[in-house]
């Protein structure tokens, strides 16, 4: 970042300045990694003790915290730090220079909005419609009749297949594949016969999909990712799945075909869903859980197979005692075997 005085940063973050405002800030980092010249943050008072050993030049703190160095006081230190990081990020114009790169291939039947960026060796197929300020990285491929809303960003090697639709401000990280064929086959006399997948994928506004994530097109109709939902890297979304708004799934989660997932759902890493499952609004699913049945609104589940989280924890605790229980049972069996047989009355 360009060097900046702490008092200038206080204005930008609408923060209360504490101490020397002339301190020069040259970078930003978390508490464990901050060096001289960096500004860091303390999200919770319980972490304040770790600040003493940090060489950071300044710190962002919350209300009622007493920092040991120049500081900015705000209501929410983590949110303020995130806002600062956004200011330090590489400008999109640096990553996606406006205009069409000479090596890109844009079909004459495609429609490009104002301020669109099309990177090296990208391909925009016939009938595609790109809104204003859409940015396509190197080697992005849009097949025929794809529609993308304004201010969306597709990083290198993203593929969007025919007729799929992306909303506004969608972010697809490198290697995403939108609209590959759903996994549908029908056993026949000659083996597995492919079921044509003629549906599409609809990705609504403000969705962000991590690197390597795949969203399959519907057999018919649409696979839908609801507005504001965020998927981590390497998430698989099967055909005809419908995911609600503002849900969040961690890496390597796999969702089988025709599942219905509500709003505000969160799933940990490597969660797996069998097909045709309904997951209600606000459900929380622990990492590595396997869902084989519906989960009602507000449920908290964990384990394989997934159960109510509290019950699953009790089972896990009981399993840890299993070796001792087996030994005790063996001791009882030996004791019973060594007893003389009882005489009949």
Find the length of the chain.
345
Phi, psi values for residue 106, rounded to 5°: -120, 120
- Token reading at 236: 């698989």
**In the block, residue with structure tokens 């360009």:** 2
Q: Cis peptide leading into 127, omega within 30 of 0? A: no
Is residue 276 part of the annotated active site? The answer reads no
* CA pair distance 140, 62, nearest whole angstrom: 43
- Identify the active-site residue in 239, 246, 276, 292: 239
The angle formed by the CA atoms of residues 283, 296 and 274, to the nearest 5 degrees, is 80
CA separation (Å) from 136 to 60, 166, 179? 36, 13, 17
The CA-atom distances, in angstroms, between 199 and each of 110, 218, 241 are: 21, 4, 12
Query: Which whole-number Å values give the CA distances from 83 to 1, 14, 28, 300, in the listed order?
Result: 14, 11, 11, 31
- The rounded distance, in Å, linking the Cα atoms of 58 and 71 is 5
**Residue 204 DSSP SS3:** coil
Cα→Cα distances 271→24, 94, 218, 261, 267, Å:
45, 37, 22, 13, 7
Catalytic site positions: 239
């Amino acid at each position: 970042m360009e060097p900046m005085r702490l008092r200038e940063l206080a204005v930008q973050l609408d923060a209360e300045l504490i101490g020397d405002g002339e301190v020069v800030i040259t970078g930003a980092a978390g508490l464990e990694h901050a060096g001289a010249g960096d500004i860091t943050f303390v999200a919770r008072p319980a972490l304040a003790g770790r600040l003493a050993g940090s060489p950071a030049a300044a710190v962002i703190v919350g209300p009622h915290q007493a920092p040991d160095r120049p500081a900015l006081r705000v209501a929410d230190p983590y949110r303020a730090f995130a806002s600062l990081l956004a200011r330090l990020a590489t400008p999109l114009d640096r990553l996606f220079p406006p205009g069409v790169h000479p090596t890109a291939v844009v079909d004459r039947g495609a429609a490009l909005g104002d301020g669109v960026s099309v990177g090296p060796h990208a391909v925009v197929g016939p009938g595609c419609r790109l809104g204003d300020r859409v940015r396509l990285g190197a080697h992005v491929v849009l097949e025929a009749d794809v529609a993308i809303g304004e201010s969306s960003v597709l990083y290198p090697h993203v593929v969007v297949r025919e007729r799929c639709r992306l909303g506004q401000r969608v972010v697809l990280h490198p290697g995403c594949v939108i609209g590959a064929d759903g996994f549908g086959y029908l056993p026949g006399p000659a083996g597995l016969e492919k079921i044509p997948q003629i549906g599409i994928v609809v990705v609504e506004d403000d969705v962000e999909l991590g690197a390597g994530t795949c969203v399959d097109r519907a057999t018919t109709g649409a696979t839908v990712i609801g507005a504001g939902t965020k998927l981590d890297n390497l998430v698989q979304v099967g055909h005809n799945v419908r995911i609600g708004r503002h849900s969040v799934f961690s890496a390597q989660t796999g969702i089988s075909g025709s599942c219905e997932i509500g709003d505000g759902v969160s799933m940990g890493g490597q969660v797996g869903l069998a097909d045709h499952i309904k997951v209600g609004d606000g459900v929380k699913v622990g990492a590595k859980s396997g869902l084989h049945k519906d989960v009602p609104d507000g449920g908290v589940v964990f384990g394989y197979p997934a159960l109510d989280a509290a019950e699953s924890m009790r089972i896990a605790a009981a399993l840890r005692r299993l070796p001792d229980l087996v030994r005790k049972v063996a001791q009882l069996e030996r004791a019973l075997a060594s007893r003389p047989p009882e005489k009949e009355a």
